[in-house]
A and B are shown apart, each in its own frame.
Chain A
Amino acid sequence: MSRLRTLAVSVAVGACCAALAYAGSRAIQVWLFPTPDPRTVLAPGRIAFYWRAWVSLYAGTLTALGAAALRTRAPVAFDRALPGFILFTALATTLQGVLLP
């Protein structure tokens, strides 16, 4: 049961990290690698949303593995950090969505 709990909590942290990776990659794209003006693109060769989503899901999976290792060592400290982490994820993704679309 404890292992299953650790796995579930790690996947939850991985989901938050996926959202953060998505927001971070979009913010970097807006700052450093701006896409062409959509009004001038007749047919896009690739769809950036799919790439961002896959890359962030991959990053989320990797961080879930790291989170599982961390929680196995210090479960109480790990769980105490969860509310703050959720709050940080919500704020960071909202700020990116609003300020850097």
Chain B
Amino acid sequence: MNALRLLERVHGHLGWLAAVALLHPAILLRNPRRRARLSVVLATAFATLSGALGAFIYADYSRTLRRTIYLASTRYGLLFERKEHLGFAAIALAWAGCLLHLTARSDDPTAATRARAAHLAFVAAAALTIVVATLGTVIASFRSF
């Protein structure tokens, strides 16, 4: 197994871990008074780490694999494009949710509003990450390094 293939597998597994990790605050923060700092920080860290690894191997994907996938199937090529766009949005929303949750203290009059916004951000990030992880699995089983 070459290094790129290994990194791709690690990226995929981290992506699924991030999806599961993001589900936790998405469920937990339905109650705006609930605090889950460790959960939101770890979930955001997982998503960021997975995205960073994806960005790291993206140059090699673009040079060696992208054309192969498009030649075999344009549909799968476009699925990968969707995955990369939705992945970027998911990480950005996870960061937004993390920061909003960390600032949602109960002694502030607008804390509940920020807590609600954080919950929404995590719901969106979790949903997008599940879609991204599913697309990644489908594409990786179609063509790989």
Contact = CB atoms under 8 A, between A and B. Distances in A.
A81 to B, nearest CB: 9
A-side interface mostly:
helix
B88 A12 contact: no
A19 B93 contact: yes
Nearest to B84: A49
Contacts of A76: 109-110
Given A16-B96, A80-B110, A86-B117, A98 B89 contact: no
A83 B89 contact: no
A86 B93 contact: yes
Contacts of B58: 47, 49-50
Interface string A67-84: 000000001100110110
List the 6 shortest-distance A-B pairs measured between CB atoms, nearest first.
A93-B89, A90-B124, A19-B92, A79-B110, A82-B117, A101-B81
Interface of B: 55, 58-59, 62-63, 66-67, 70-71, 74, 77-79, 81-82, 84-86, 88-89, 92-93, 95-97, 99-100, 102-103, 108-110, 113-114, 116-117, 120-121, 124, 128
Interface of A: 5, 8-9, 11-13, 15-16, 18-19, 22-23, 26, 37-39, 41-44, 47, 49-50, 53, 56, 60, 75-76, 79-80, 82-83, 85-87, 89-90, 93-94, 96-98, 101
